[in-house]
């Protein structure tokens, strides 16, 4: 692998999930400056659910939305490409234009892995605005490689310059990632890049990212200390260490990333970003990482097991944007627990 990898840090976007979207402006400024100095190619900033995601449904931001975070990063980033995410149906083209006005130079249009068609007009507008434009196929474990490749082709036809295989639930193994990247490479134009966005719920994010690069991926998502939904993303410093051992070019300063992870990011965690019974349940059952924190809150409120809530969400094949439906699950489980029949069986 002689081509230099494009390292995209997602600490300040996907990492938002892990701290309930409560980044302070000064946190964004400090972390973005450290990432820029450490040599990452792109720094993604915004609400975990993308532009306009700050809401009661997805989690409100204490600063009122994405633009304050984006402006803070733009103040200190001198080299890296400032990036954000938009989920059609949550964010709008007007939100995209506002992000550009505040310093964004690249955008990723994210959809469920079977719904690429809803991103067409957003991708076209992003290209018209001169943005580096990527498609982002979330929950890629939920469809087979051939169908995923067809969805990627929809994004490519709309103008996407790169398409990411996003394992939002952390359910894919190395074989699953390899098969999906190969399918995309066979289907897409050679000039269209492919990206990897791996989550760590099965503990495989770095391994999956390595396999993806071996299959031709050139853009790699990762975050400092793995900060992200569920058990987090591929830890940036761990992936860069492995890339060094592989002899891959990436342009990053490993020790600077180690320091930023431990000194700047870990102190912000109010819940360890790790593989535990709850986050492992996400990967095992294929549930989007953003379900973790609301499931934990509902479990405390109703005296339930977080794992039971997440397993049932997986059984119902819930997807991003349906986090509020966890309440229905909680009420169902609570009623089941309180039923006379269940009480008799436990006596």
Assess contact for 233 and 198: CB atoms under 8 A: yes
Q: What are the CA-CA distances from residue 345 to residues 332, 334, 336, 340 (Å)?
A: 18, 16, 12, 9
Question: CATH 3.20.20.70 occupies which residues in the chain?
Answer: 6-268
SS percent in the chain: helix, strand, coil, step 5: 50, 15, 35
* pLDDT for residue 342 is more than 80: no
**276-288 residue pLDDT tens:** 999 999 999 999 8
What is d(CA 2, CA 246) in angstroms, rounded to the nearest whole number? Answer: 11
Question: CATH 1.10.8.60 occupies which residues in the chain?
Answer: 277-345
* pLDDT for residue 1 is more than 80: no
Q: What are the CA-CA distances from residue 60 to residues 48, 113, 118, 249 (Å)?
A: 10, 26, 25, 38
Percent of the chain with pLDDT over 70: 94
**135-149 residue pLDDT tens:** 999 999 999 999 999
Residue 320: pLDDT band (50, 70, 90) is confident
Supply 102's token pair. 């505040």
- Provide mean pLDDT across the span 1-15: 92
What is d(CA 50, CA 40) in angstroms, rounded to the nearest whole number? Answer: 21
DSSP 202: T
Assess contact for 51 and 66: CB atoms under 8 A: yes
**199-242 residue pLDDT tens:** 999 999 999 999 999 999 999 999 999 999 999 999 999 999 99
What is the tally of helices (H) and strands (E) in the chain? 15, 8
Least Cα distance to 77 among 135, 29, 123 occurs for 29
Sign (positive or negative) of CA dihedral 179, 180, 181, 184: positive
* pLDDT for residue 60 is more than 80: no
Which CATH homologous superfamily contains domain 6-268?
Aldolase class I (3.20.20.70)
181-186 — which CB contacts under 8 Å span 24+ positions?
181/211, 181/212, 181/215, 181/216, 181/217, 182/145, 182/215, 183/145, 183/146, 183/148, 183/149, 184/148, 184/149, 184/152, 185/215, 185/216, 186/149
CB-based burial label for 17 (10 Å; 0-12, 13-18, 19+) = buried
Give the DSSP per-residue string, 90-149: TB-HHHHHHHHHTT--EEEEEEETT-GGGGHHHHHHHHHTT-EEEEEEESGGGS-HHHHH
Residues with a known catalytic role: 17
Q: What is the pLDDT of residue 38?
A: 98
What is d(CA 61, CA 23) in angstroms, rounded to the nearest whole number? Answer: 8
Provide the 3-class DSSP secondary structure of residue 219: strand
Q: What is the pLDDT of residue 347?
A: 31
Secondary element (H or E) of residue 12: strand 6-12
Q: What are the CA-CA distances from residue 329 to residues 241, 295, 319 (Å)?
A: 41, 10, 14
Identify the architecture of domain 277-345 in CATH.
Orthogonal Bundle (1.10)
Residue count of the chain:
347
Least Cα distance to 260 among 36, 5, 14 occurs for 36
CB-based burial label for 168 (10 Å; 0-12, 13-18, 19+) = buried
- Determine how many CB atoms are found less than 10 A away from the CB of residue 303: 10
Least Cα distance to 255 among 241, 239, 267 occurs for 241
In angstroms, the first-to-last Cα distance of the chain is 63
Q: What is the pLDDT of residue 344?
A: 40
- Say which range, 12-26, 238-252, 290-304, 328-342, has the weakest mean pLDDT: 328-342
What is d(CA 15, CA 21) in angstroms, rounded to the nearest whole number? Answer: 8
- For 231, list phi and psi in degrees, rounded to 5: -80, 5
């Amino acid at each position: 692998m002689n081509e230099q990898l494009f390292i995209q840090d997602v600490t300040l976007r996907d990492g938002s999930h892990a701290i309930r979207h409560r980044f302070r402006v000064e946190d964004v400024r400090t972390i973005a400056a450290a990432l820029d100095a450490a040599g990452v190619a792109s720094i993604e900033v915004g609400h975990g659910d993308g532009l306009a995601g700050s809401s009661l449904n997805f989690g409100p931001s204490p600063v009122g939305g994405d633009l304050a975070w984006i402006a803070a990063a733009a103040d200190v980033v001198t080299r890296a490409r400032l990036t954000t995410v938009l989920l059609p149906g949550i964010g709008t083209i007007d939100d995209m234009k506002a992000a550009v006005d505040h310093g964004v130079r690249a955008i990723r249009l994210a959809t469920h892995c079977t719904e690429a068609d809803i991103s067409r007009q957003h991708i076209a507008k992003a290209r018209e605005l001169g943005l580096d434009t990527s498609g982002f196929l979330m929950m890629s474990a939920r469809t087979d490689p051939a169908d995923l490749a067809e969805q990627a082709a929809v994004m490519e036809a709309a103008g996407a310059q790169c398409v990411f295989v996003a394992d939002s639930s952390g359910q894919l193994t190395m074989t699953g990632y390899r098969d999906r990247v190969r399918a995309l490479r066979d289907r897409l134009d050679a000039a269209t890049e492919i990206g990897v966005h791996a989550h760590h719920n099965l503990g495989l994010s770095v391994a999956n990212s390595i396999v993806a690069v071996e299959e031709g991926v050139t853009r790699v998502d990762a975050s400092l200390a793995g900060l992200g939904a569920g058990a987090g993303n591929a830890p940036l410093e761990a992936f860069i260490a492995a890339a060094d051992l592989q002899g891959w070019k990436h342009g990053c300063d490993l020790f600077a990333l180690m320091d930023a992870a431990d000194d700047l990011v870990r102190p912000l965690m109010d819940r360890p970003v790790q593989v535990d019974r709850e986050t492992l349940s996400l990967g095992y059952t294929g549930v989007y990482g953003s379900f973790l924190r609301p499931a934990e809150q509902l479990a405390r409120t109703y005296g339930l097991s977080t794992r039971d809530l997440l397993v049932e969400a997986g059984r119902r094949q819930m997807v991003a944007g349906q986090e509020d439906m966890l309440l229905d699950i909680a009420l169902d489980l609570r009623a089941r627990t309180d039923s006379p029949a269940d009480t008799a069986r436990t006596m």
